[in-house]
Amino acid sequence: MSATLSASADGPATRLAFAGVLDAAGTARLWPEAMRAVRGARHLVLDLAGLTALDTAGAVLLLRLERAVRETRWQGMPAGPVQAVLDRTRQALANPPPPAPPPLPPLAWLGRATLRQGGDLLDQIGFLGEAALAGLDTLRRPWRLRFAETLRHLDEAGLRAFGLTLLLGVLIGVILAFQSSIPMRRFGAEVFIPNLVGISLLRELGPLMAAVILAGRTGSAYAAELGTMTVNEEIDALRIMGIDPIAWLVLPRLLAGMLVMPVLALLMDLSGLAGMAVVMSSLGFPPVGVVNQLRNAVKLRDLLGGLLKAAVFGLSIALVGCRAGLTAGRGPRAVGDAATAAVVGGIVSIVLLDGVFSVLFFRLGW
Amino acid sequence: MTEPVIRVENLAARFSGRTIFEHVSFEVRRGEVFVILGGSGCGKSTLLKHMIGLYAPAEGGTTILGQRVEGLAGAARTALLRRLGVMWQSGALFGSLTLAENISVPLEEHTDLPPEARALVAQAKLGLVGLGDAAGRLPAEISGGMAKRAGIARAMALDPPILFLDEPSAGLDPITSAGLDALIRQLARDLGTTFVVVTHELQSILAIGDRCIMLDKEARGMIAEGDPRRLREESTNPVVRAFFRREVLA
């Protein structure tokens, strides 16, 4: 029998009589009516004589009614399970959670955020130092580097990214050539499209786009893999075994990131130029003319400068990804957060480094 | 003797041609605490997952509250699952939700309780397992033992008539473990809740178990059934004796 409720006046008090099975479904149905009935009441009589069964939701309703008024009198309490459920729920609700701490005043909030960011920056510098020391140690004792692990990462970060890099490279070359052909046609300067696309690809877009691919594919994978190892206490296990996780796990990834990026950037450059050549051909320029134009416009230093940038980008992305993984918190959410931090941090770091390189190359006259 | 609420008939589990167990048959009666015990790797948790329909059996099947679990789909399956609570070995709490929100999930999905009632029920369930002051914490911020207790609280959210507990006291300190055992006995007595508990914790088995079955890895099936205290005293099976007396098997 589903629960029923009848409300009546009992002298100065409000009488609520429950009957039937007061389970979650009955409670959900009777909750608004019961709350309405006790609104403004000071004295309450809870008559449970007709109650045949009670679950936690029902007990919560009765205790909530008791709390809503100044004085409650219980009547007709059935012995046995109903009483037991009510007592147990009352006892369970006796220790409410501590109230949330009040929000910090703005100045204290700013101070705490500054301290946290400062601490994070120090950690980053510390991680960079640890990686540099581990790298120097490996230079002195190269046989300690895990070559098989490094090869695995070269394969995963490099070879398996070739298809995507080729596809994006061709598309970027095609898009750049088409987009630039529209304004250049107005000046009859379409012949200079290879100059524009060649220089922008080799110096800037090739390394940058390859780095974005590496950050999205590999930086996040490093963070997720190392983050999972952190959550599973594998990193702690390594430390306890006297093995430096930086040398064991981070160095192979840094080396792979640094070595694979120039290759990806070169692939991006070449596929972009091929895409541009296709567009030029469709505009009526023979391949020989495009190649000659490129040879006149593009210098070896443009290519080498781009490849140098790519290597530094690769190192930076791997560093950011590994650090995000090694500093992951606990739980499955931490791994997702680490992967996000790796991608965001990786892209921000390559844009910052690109700015540094731009100033450097300008000063050097490259 | 009360009527059976779970009937397992000739159940067999095989993965990639490897038999985990076979010819497993038993009944669980209303309001009893039924323990599935055995050594590590004998298939206790696998049996539990077969019983609740997560794994399809190679042979046989399970009937819960008069309904055959295998082949049950759609609304009928949801209706049956609402009447079961499962506590997983790790707690299996949702990492992005607080403990109170974790417990509110089944309440939100399966009842029309207003938000205030849901919050109070969640608080009551947490209080019941001694976590009343941790309602606002995330699973990543609590210990493994607390996660286990929160998992039990979530399993009990809808006051199901049958609760399946997978290794509830493993990894808990003796005081918490004893408290949990007392809670299981209390719920079985007061509400008539039926418990199916997978465990190899000897003290818990003897404290809470009305009846039990024992699985064995070598035998690939059941090797004993009955009152755990009687099995401890009377069984002539060397594996059962070694298990209950913590002896090294010759």
Percent of chain B with pLDDT over 90: 51
CATH code for position A56: 3.30.750.24
Mean pLDDT of B60-89: 90
Residue B97 in contact with partner chain A when CB distance is under 8 A: no
> What is the C-alpha to C-alpha distance for residues A137 and A143, in angstroms, rounded to an integer?
11
Using the predicted structure, report yes or no on whether residue B247 has a pLDDT greater than 80.
no
| A168 in a structural domain | yes
Percent of chain A with pLDDT over 70: 99
Q: Which chain B residue has its CA at the smallest distance from A93's CA?
A: B124
What is the model's pLDDT at position A219? 95
Point out the residue among B116, B136, B139 whose CB comes nearest to the CB of A97. B136
- Same domain for A345 and A241? yes
Q: Which chain B residue has its CA at the smallest distance from A328's CA?
A: B140
Instruction: Give the Cα-Cα-Cα angle B157, B160, B164 (nearest 5 degrees).
Output: 95
- Same domain for A302 and A199? yes
| A295 in a structural domain | yes
How confident is residue B250, by pLDDT bands cut at 50, 70 and 90? low
Point out the residue among A57, A64, A92 whose CB comes nearest to the CB of B132. A92
| A114 in a structural domain | no
The residue among A22, A29, A60 with the most chain B CBs within 10 A of its CB, best to mutate, is A60
| Residue A60 Cα, gap to closest chain B Cα (Å) | 6
Using the predicted structure, report yes or no on whether residue A274 has a pLDDT greater than 90.
yes
Give the A window 50-79 contacts with B, CB below 8 Å: 55-57, 59-61, 63-64
Residue B128 in contact with partner chain A when CB distance is under 8 A: yes
Using the predicted structure, report yes or no on whether residue A203 has a pLDDT greater than 90.
yes
Residue A333 in contact with partner chain B when CB distance is under 8 A: yes
Mean pLDDT of A306-325: 96
* Cβ-based contacts under 8 A for chains A and B: 100
Mean pLDDT of A230-236: 85
State the burial class of residue B7 (Cβ atoms within 10 Å of its Cβ: 0-12, 13-18, 19+).
middle
Using the predicted structure, report yes or no on whether residue A332 has a pLDDT greater than 80.
no
| Residue A362 Cα, gap to closest chain B Cα (Å) | 48
- Highest average pLDDT, of A261-270, A324-333, B76-85, comes from A261-270
Q: Which chain B residue has its CA at the smallest distance from A94's CA?
A: B127
Using the predicted structure, report yes or no on whether residue A97 has a pLDDT greater than 80.
no
Residue B56 in contact with partner chain A when CB distance is under 8 A: no
Residue A334 in contact with partner chain B when CB distance is under 8 A: yes
| SS3 readout for B64-131 | ECCEECCCCCHHHHHHHHHCEEEECCCCCCCCCCCHHHHHHHHHHHHCCCCHHHHHHHHHHHHHHCCC
What is the model's pLDDT at position A9? 85
Mean pLDDT of B214-226: 92
> What is the C-alpha to C-alpha distance for residues B209 and B32, in angstroms, rounded to an integer?
8
Number of domains chain A contains? 2
- Same domain for A180 and A33? no
Percent of chain B with pLDDT over 70: 99
What is the model's pLDDT at position A178? 92
Q: Which chain A residue has its CA at the smallest distance from B134's CA?
A: A97
Final residue of a structural domain among A94, A111, A137: A94
Q: Residue B224 is encoded by which pair of tokens?
A: 């004993």
Mean pLDDT of B224-244: 91
Residue B91 in contact with partner chain A when CB distance is under 8 A: no
Give the A window 293-332 contacts with B, CB below 8 Å: 329-332
Mean pLDDT of A182-199: 91
Query: Is there a contact between A97 and B134 if contact means CB atoms under 8 Å apart?
Result: yes
| A117 in a structural domain | no
- Same domain for A190 and A312? yes
Point out the residue among A31, A61, A93 whose CB comes nearest to the CB of B127. A93
Query: Is there a contact between A92 and B124 if contact means CB atoms under 8 Å apart?
Result: yes
Residue A87 in contact with partner chain B when CB distance is under 8 A: no
What is the model's pLDDT at position B1? 62
Strand B59-64 to strand B67-68: parallel, antiparallel, or no bridges (unpaired)?
Answer: antiparallel
Beta carbons of B24 and B42 less than 8 angstroms apart: no
What is the model's pLDDT at position B3? 86
pLDDT in tens, A29-82: 999 999 999 888 889 999 999 999 899 999 999 999 999 888 999 988 887 888
Using the predicted structure, report yes or no on whether residue A151 has a pLDDT greater than 90.
yes
Query: Is there a contact between B132 and A89 if contact means CB atoms under 8 Å apart?
Result: no
- Same domain for A40 and A131? no
Tell me the residue range of the domain where A78 lies: 4-94
| A116 in a structural domain | no
How confident is residue B179, by pLDDT bands cut at 50, 70 and 90? confident
| SS3 readout for A132-189 | HHHHHHHHHCHHHCCHHHHHHHHHHHCHHHHHHHHHHHHHHHHHHHHHHHHHHHHCCC
- Same domain for A218 and A129? yes
- Same domain for A155 and A267? yes
| A135 in a structural domain | yes
In Å, how far from its chain's centre is CA A318?
16
Residue B131 in contact with partner chain A when CB distance is under 8 A: no
Query: Is there a contact between A81 and B123 if contact means CB atoms under 8 Å apart?
Result: no
Q: Which chain B residue has its CA at the smallest distance from A30's CA?
A: B113
Of A181-195, A209-223, A280-294, B173-187, least confident by mean pLDDT is: B173-187
- Same domain for A178 and A88? no
> For residue B127, which residues of chain A lie inside 8 Å, CB to CB?
91-95
- Same domain for A185 and A301? yes
Query: Is there a contact between B139 and A331 if contact means CB atoms under 8 Å apart?
Result: yes
Beta carbons of A356 and A253 less than 8 angstroms apart: no
Q: Which residues of A251-278 are buried (b: 16+ CB within 10 A; e: fewer)?
A: bbbbbbbbbbbbbbbbbbbbbbbebbbb
> For residue A23, which residues of chain B lie inside 8 Å, CB to CB?
159
| Residue A335 Cα, gap to closest chain B Cα (Å) | 11
Q: Which chain B residue has its CA at the smallest distance from A56's CA?
A: B121
Using the predicted structure, report yes or no on whether residue B214 has a pLDDT greater than 70.
yes
Query: Is there a contact between A97 and B123 if contact means CB atoms under 8 Å apart?
Result: yes
What is the model's pLDDT at position A165? 95
Q: Residue B38 is encoded by which pair of tokens?
A: 């055995």
- Same domain for A146 and A183? yes
| Residue A74 Cα, gap to closest chain B Cα (Å) | 20
| Residue B230 Cα, gap to closest chain A Cα (Å) | 30
Q: Which of B172, B176, B169, B95 is nearest to B138 (CA)?
A: B95
ipTM over 0.85: no
| A227 in a structural domain | yes
Query: Is there a contact between B138 and A331 if contact means CB atoms under 8 Å apart?
Result: yes
- Same domain for A289 and A173? yes
- Same domain for A65 and A167? no
> For residue A333, which residues of chain B lie inside 8 Å, CB to CB?
95-96, 140
Beta-carbon contacts of B3 under 8 Å, excluding residues fewer than 6 positions away, are B29, B30
State the burial class of residue A137 (Cβ atoms within 10 Å of its Cβ: 0-12, 13-18, 19+).
middle
| A169 in a structural domain | yes
